[in-house]
Amino acid sequence: MKSLRKHFDKDMHKLVNEVFDGYDDVKIYTDAYVEYYQTEEGNYYLSLVIRKIDDNILKTLVHEIVHIMQHIRRIFFLNKVEVEFEAYLTEWIFEQVCEILKSNQLIK
């Protein structure tokens, strides 16, 4: 939570709190999930919440990043198929998530 708050100003703390608001209500077998939030100003945020890191974490990340791309495609691609761009963006998101997990020593 502390490191998330560094990326948001004071007014956005309610968004960070909203991300974790339903955390305890998520089914116990859910390893990770993606949610989206849109502010009144029209800003669009996606959250990837990882609840469990085990030997299947890479498969879980791929699955959840597909959901991230589905949100991005729905909001930003607007019926245009940008296949190569989508592939590079998916790869970049995966790399960023893995780097965060590595820097926190959650994966090797």
Token pair for residue 33?
């999930």
Q: Scanning the structure block, which residue is given the tokens 């597909």?
A: 66
Those residues whose C-beta lies under 8 Å from the C-beta of residue 54, and which sit 6 or more positions away, are 31
14-28, 53-67, 80-94: range with highest mean pLDDT: 53-67
Q: Which residues of 47-63 are buried (b: 16+ CB within 10 A; e: fewer)?
A: bbbbeeeeeebeebbee
> What are 47's strand-pairing partners?
35
Q: What is the pTM of this model?
A: 0.76
Half-sphere exposure of residue 79: CA atoms within 13 angstroms, side-chain side: 0
pLDDT at 4 over 70: no
